[in-house]
Structure 1
Amino acid sequence: MFNDKVIVITGASSGIGEATAHLLAQKGFRVFAGARRAPTSPPVPNLEFGVLDVTNDASVENFINWVLREAGRIDVLINNAGVSLVGPVEKTSIKEAQGLFDTNVFGPFRLMRAVLPTMREAGQGLIINISSVLGFLPAPFMGVYASSKHALEGLSESLDHEVREFNVRVVLVEPSFTKTNLDTNSAQVSEGFGAYESQVSATLKAVIAQIKSAPAPISVARKILSVITGPYKMREPADGTAKLLSRLRRFMPAGAVDRSLRKSFGLRT
């Protein structure tokens, strides 16, 4: 059993976050799980929940200070909290885009700033940012979500160069579609789809079909466990589909990738 690391994970009340928190606790890690609302399920050994809103500076500071008081250090930070949004870019309001970025980009940004001083002082640390295949691929009608993951990937790679000298590393875990509420119950833009209605409907139908055969959150949790316990690698596709898409993006001609993406999202090629 692994029991020598203190782990912080955000967005831990459901989906990938919940599965990961429970798996790591079962393996003997001491896990501090943050969520907007603490779960009502029975207590789990090695797993402690705290209220955390990643969009609120004071909430992040209070949560990290609580962990440091309780455990004295933080060895691993897992930035998992995220939200999604479906709709055409043209129909997405600035407020909706800002709200998504506040969770998906500035949320991890706040957490990383909060934990880095203690990691630097300790001379070791690992930050795992949960990205997506949409961190390196486009996604029609999920453009703001995809752009937030592209931003997270650029931030993560840049930060890794900055903190490497202090024996702190940053990893990107990149799942494909996963059977979670994030993928099945994504919010939609409030203005409606307008002229894009038929295209969005086709895309949603194609995406739902892919989600039906998608891996469960535990598969991503197992990947995160292997990242913590295994050798370092900057990018970690979380499943077979993600690994294939990563290779296709790198090695296939751009035109072929474009046609394949349009087909997979239910759009005319």
Structure 2
Amino acid sequence: MSSKIAIVTGASSGIGEATAGQLARAGYKVYGTSRRGAQGSRRGFEMLALDVTSDASVQAAVQQVLALEGRIDLLVNNAGFGVAPAAAEESSIQLGQAIFDTNFFGMVRMIRAVAPHMRRRGSGRIINISSVLGFVPMPYMALYSASKHAMEGYSEALDQELRTQGIRVSLVQPAYIKSPFDANQLQPDQALDEYRDLRAGLDRRVKEALQGADGPDVVAATVLRVALAAAPKVRYTSGALAGRLRLLRRFAPAALVEAGVRKDLRLDTQPSLVRSAA
């Protein structure tokens, strides 16, 4: 296992850092990445500077790993950011493009840089960190949910394309995870007064849920299990809540799932929208 080389994007904290650490302890030579690169001592893995929104930065980092190691066996696409709960109409097109540029196209850039090398070697594993919002859309998280739906569709199609080349693509789908990721969410850039009280209520509910949420090590353990699987699946939930949501989505009527989401978010008890006077 010591010869296995892994790249983990977004590894400066949270899920990425935990994943890089677990992979390193399992015997992988791990290169974590973040926009600012190495910051102080790391625990068992190297850090590289990489901006997933830049084609040049992605190519440079991947070529650096190949020059050092001669191979890349595992790519974990974790880099991304969340958005604070807000109505869909409160986010501009520019904010939506920024979300997709990191959460979706950042993954695409990494895969485009790494897949040709894996294909020439005839082997490789790609793991994309998605979310339960990739299969259960969350109200007031429309753009983030959309970015994860896009990741899911792309990953499933790509796995069908690359498995004949010896490469497998899998998704890991956590639910609420207590990590710095949630402390650095983007705020809506076109906030409307009509949604102010509702946003505040949702923000309180999400913070409550995070208090009892799993830590990033739970997701890291799932990633390691997928990386080592002899016959990997396309989708893996991570944590008990994510598993229950997957079962509900698969077997329960859509109306029941929607009612459960609304109840969990307490939407039916939120303040009504204040309509502007005509």
TM-score band, normalised by shorter chain: over 0.9
Change (3 A) 1:3 1:199: same
CA–CA separation in structure 2 for the residues paired with 1:264 and 1:178: 16
Equivalent position of 1:67 in the other structure: 65
The 5 Å alignment of 1:133-148 reads 133-148=132-147
The 5 Å alignment of 1:21-100 reads 21-45=20-44, 47-86=45-84, 87-100=86-99
SS at match of 2:162: helix
Give 1:123's aligned amino acid.
G
Equivalent position of 1:172 in the other structure: 171
Equivalent position of 2:274 in the other structure: none
Unaligned 5+ segments in structure 1 are none
CA offsets per residue over residues 33-59 of structure 1, 9 Å max, x none?
A: 1110124332444x1111000000000
Q: Which runs of 4+ in 1 moved over 6 A?
A: none
SS at match of 1:177: coil
State the aligned residue count. 267
Equivalent position of 2:214 in the other structure: 215
CA offsets per residue over residues 214-235 of structure 1, 9 Å max, x none?
A: 0111111111111111241110
CA–CA separation in structure 2 for the residues paired with 1:238 and 1:99: 26
SS at match of 2:267: coil
CA positional deviation for 1:184 = 3.6
CA positional deviation for 1:139 = 1.1
Equivalent position of 2:8 in the other structure: 9
Equivalent position of 2:273 in the other structure: none
Give 2:6's aligned amino acid.
I
Residues 1:251 and 2:262 aligned together: no
Equivalent position of 2:239 in the other structure: 239
Contact map agreement 1:205 1:266 (CA 8 A) in 2 = no
Residues 1:149 and 2:141 aligned together: no
Q: Which moved more, 1:188-197 or 1:50-59?
A: 188-197
CA–CA separation in structure 2 for the residues paired with 1:178 and 1:118: 33
CA–CA separation in structure 2 for the residues paired with 1:200 and 1:129: 29
Equivalent position of 1:206 in the other structure: 205
SS at match of 1:20: helix
Equivalent position of 2:102 in the other structure: 103
CA positional deviation for 1:187 = 1.6
CA–CA separation in structure 2 for the residues paired with 1:91 and 1:172: 29
Contact map agreement 1:184 1:208 (CA 8 A) in 2 = no
Q: Please report the RMSD computed on the Cα atoms of aligned residues, expressed in angstroms.
A: 1.2
